[in-house]
Chain A
């Protein structure tokens, strides 16, 4: 089932000369784990903003083409309506927490939606449990580490029970351990709850294993769109400066020298390990 569909989407920010998104078309199926990647300033964030209506409702500017999310045409629906089916987690964890305690923050979206207190309490507890921050419930956001803050942000979005979770470089402010924890939470949501995940990320080493769809953008256009191994192994992707997994690059170099060969391009260290072990045996 198609859950996000964009067709000939072109968007220009107010007072900008060049469009941030240039004739973008793609489809995302329900339950997919999509990685959206590409050099800085390529339009990834703008695309995310289109998904929950920040573009065009908050940013104005000129939007052409069509984008339909969960059956709702983005242009015709206000942000708060879209927010119920698309949750957007931002880059800087600090600037998306408003309240003075974690649980109050997780409840913020539900309060805005006017959910009754009893149900709200249940959903808040569930979301905190899922994100693994139950022990932080009473703490103030500024006392938390970046990783903890970002998990609070994810919990507060998940409390609203969205069908689609969009994360805009959620780990760029975090250390690798914090990042790994975040990815763990996201993949759990994707697998156990069938939440569609759209993740903007540069650290493909850490996330390639979770993805079943990779989109590469450059200069407002979609360059590649497809199955992870295929996209990550493509010459085009590497030439754009996308940080493809190191094992994939190693495989490419070894294959060039005819030292290693496999139909299945490795994207995780484990796969590469197996390949090398196989080659050594033979």
Chain B
């Protein structure tokens, strides 16, 4: 769950929070592109460090660290498998450049997690829904999305209540082997699903009571307007892509082991 904790939005205001989510997404894409085209450690390190000012500007350091900590497990698997395959491939020897390559792959993953976590930590689901709407995705889907986000904490709480109730009736969740433990969750899931269905019926009624589907073209309380900072971020993102591609084509990137003279 800690990975998701690191992606949970918290309503604070900062220049980054104010940005248009569409532009932020574009920025994430630009980071993605550059992270994908490089296999060397140095440029990926630059990419990683490049994003830290954004984190500080958005004042989400704590959550950001948590998301990285959440990603640490996957990152270590990536590192481990890379080392292992290089080791086997090279005939059971390991060089410094192998370690560097594995680190680069790991750092690539971390840089991606970093950019995604900046996006999700600083974008309210409401704005995200609005951005989806503005991207000509049918309103029903955007509504389903924001409603799903809205009901995550409610369902989590309900699951906890059901778990407590079933435990009070003598259900032992932690008992038995792996398969048995999964089976133990059935008495939790069934009431949860039934109550979710009931809830959805009540929601549908409430939607009807508020004139759902009255007209084709509904309006929205909020609006997305491109401001100076948004244009700035567009320029930054484009610059990131251009510099990335330029370096990739015209500059031979030195590896750190070369620099250190291994």
Contacts and interface: CB of A to CB of B under 8 A. Distances in A.
B221 interface: yes
A141 B150 contact: yes
Interface in A76-126: 79-81, 83-84, 87-88, 90, 92, 94-101, 103-104, 107-117, 120-121, 124
Contact of A160 (B125, B211, B213): B211
A137 to B, nearest CB: 11
B147 A98 contact: yes
A108 B124 contact: no
A160 B199 CA distance: 24
B31 to A, nearest CB: 26
Nearest to B209: A88
Determine chain A's interface SS by DSSP, over half rule: helix
Interface string B182-200: 0000000000000000010
Query: Which of B209, B210, B220 is the most central at the interface, judged by chain A CB atoms within 10 Å of its CB?
Result: B209
A148 B221 CA distance: 21
Interface residues of B, number: 33
Contacts, number: 112
Contacts of B260: none
Interface string A7-44: 00000000000000000000000000000000000000
Given A84-B211, A109-B211, 5 more contacts: A90-B202, A96-B209, A107-B221, A121-B221, A157-B210
12 contacts: A83-B210, A87-B209, A90-B202, A90-B205, A92-B202, A96-B206, A104-B222, A112-B211, A112-B213, A120-B221, A142-B154, A157-B210
Interface of A: 49, 52, 54, 57-58, 79-81, 83-84, 87-88, 90, 92, 94-101, 103-104, 107-117, 120-121, 124, 138, 140-142, 156-157, 160
Interface of B: 11, 124-126, 143, 146-147, 149-150, 153-154, 199, 202-215, 217-223
